Amino acid sequence: MPGGGTGSARISQLDGLRGIAILLVLAVHFLNDSEHGAFGSFLYRFGSAFRLGWAGVDLFFVLSGFLIGGILLDARESTNYFRVFYTRRLFRIVPIYYSWITLFVIVQLSVGGWLSHLLPAQSSDLRFVPLFYLFLQNYFQVPFGSLIWVWLTPTWSLGVEEQFYIVAPPLIRFLSIKTLKFVLLATIFIAPVLRLLVFFFVPGGHDAIYTWMPCRADSLAFGVVAAVAWRDGSIRRWYDSHRRFFFISMAILGAAIPVFIKWKFDPHTLVMGSFGYTWLAVFFAGLLLLCLLEPDGLWAGFLRMSFLREMGKLSYCMYIIHLAVLNLTHRVLLHSRPRIYDFRGAAVSFLALFLTYAIAKVSWIYLEHPLIRRGHAFTYR
């Protein structure tokens, strides 16, 4: 979820693409996962239209692969390559993330007993906290619906990204571009096979295919492949002579989205594990490249809308806190799980959305942006 640049001039439409990613995640939790009306009602159909919103995380993965891969490709000959990369990542990710985990510990120890009548909150849940500090939470399950679940479960994808940050820098630093391409393509083909093996042969495999980094490596690899192709100019040359084929392919990929929403919306199913994640990654990589290949086109212009860019800028904090803010706001004010089927529930959900935005805005102004600037004081040589 962290923001970033490409190592050169900032590409504003990518901020907008990140904004779409966070809006998808917000939509699935605020609209689909909330109680949204009786089966067959208008509100039920409206909320269900957003049940593929979890794929916003897949869009984040593709974006992260492109942006981080691009940064590393641009700096691969630098003498302080590892030091600068990890220092910048530390300033960008760790302070906000660790503060959020520590705040959970404080809340659990101080008012956990009072909150337990609103959400299951047991002191024994603190045993999971070290996993979050170590970015290993994506390999374990915390009690569903508990305080620790609503507070920290969205951060599973940060575990995936941090593990990507361990693997990607040495590969990009030490492999030739030709060998790197081979490794990336191998990853794209192996990840779906690994998901099938995990699904059938690992206990709890239906969850593992969604959260384990090796199982999600193809989405990240597609982003890095896009970064390589963008920098060496090969995608531009190919696009110039295959523009029609590109748009036909994107139309076919996009046509599957309504099918996924209607019948295959659960990320833990065999269909999504076998090819669904890869299908989405190809589609998102295409959307990313399109906004670069056609910078004056309608898609790129749409992504440069100030609202989307603002959402993209604030996406890191919003992503981390939104589920806890949504659930706690409903539990405290209405003593119920999130709902949007009546005026009071919808009003409280809107309040939770506003609070999520406001907290993220304050975080950006006073914490994240200053920390990013401090991290970028370290420059590649």
* Burial class for 366, CB neighbours closer than 10 Å (0-12, 13-18, 19+): exposed
Which 3 state secondary structure label does DSSP give 177? helix
- What does the alpha-carbon distance between residue 318 and residue 126 come to, in Å, rounded to a whole number? 23
- Measured distance CA(73)–CA(156) in Å, rounded: 26
Question: HSE (CB half, 13 Å, CA atoms) of 202?
Answer: 16
What is the predicted pLDDT for the residue at 7? 40
Half-sphere exposure of 357 (CA within 13 A, CB side): 14
CB 143 within 8 A of CB 149: yes
DSSP assignment string, 331-375:
HHHHSSS-B-SSHHHHHHHHHHHHHHHHHHHHHIIIIIHHHHHHH
pLDDT of residue 5: 43
**Residue 7 is assigned to a structural domain of this protein:** no
In a domain, 2, yes or no: no
DSSP-based three-state secondary structure for 339:
strand
Q: Report residue 375 as tokens.
A: 């991290």
3 domain-assigned: no
- Are the C-beta atoms of residues 334 and 15 closer than 8 Å to each other? no
- Residue 4 belongs to some domain of the structure: no
What pLDDT is attached to residue 114? 86
The tally of CA atoms less than 13 A away on the side-chain side of residue 231 is 20
Positive or negative, the CA dihedral 155, 2, 285, 178 is negative
Tell me the whole-structure pTM to 2 decimals.
0.95
pLDDT of residue 1: 56
pLDDT (tens digit, 0 to 9) for every residue of the chain, 381 residues total?
554 443 445 799 999 999 999 999 999 999 999 999 888 889 999 999 999 999 999 999 999 999 999 999 999 999 999 999 999 999 999 999 999 999 999 999 998 888 888 898 888 899 999 999 999 999 999 999 999 999 999 999 999 999 999 999 999 999 999 999 999 999 999 999 999 999 999 999 999 999 999 999 999 999 999 999 999 999 999 999 999 999 999 999 999 999 999 888 899 999 999 999 999 999 999 999 999 999 999 999 999 999 999 999 999 999 999 999 999 999 999 999 999 999 999 999 999 999 999 999 999 999 999 999 999 999 998
How high is the pLDDT of residue 265? 85
Answer yes or no: is 6 within a domain: no
Q: Distance between CA 62 and CA 67 in Å, rounded?
A: 9
Range of the domain at 205: 12-375
User: Hey, how many other C-beta atoms are within 10 angstroms of the C-beta on 320?
Assistant: 24
With respect to residue 127, please indicate whether it lies within any of the assigned structural domains.
Answer: yes
Neighbours of 129 (CB within 10 A): 18
State whether the Cα torsion 319-291-308-260 is positive or negative: negative
Closest CA to 311 of 31, 6, 64, 18: 18
Number of domains in the chain: 1
Q: Does residue 380 sit within a domain?
A: no
Residue type, 105: V
Q: Are 372 and 10 in contact (CB under 8 A)?
A: no
Let me know if residue 1 belongs to a domain: no
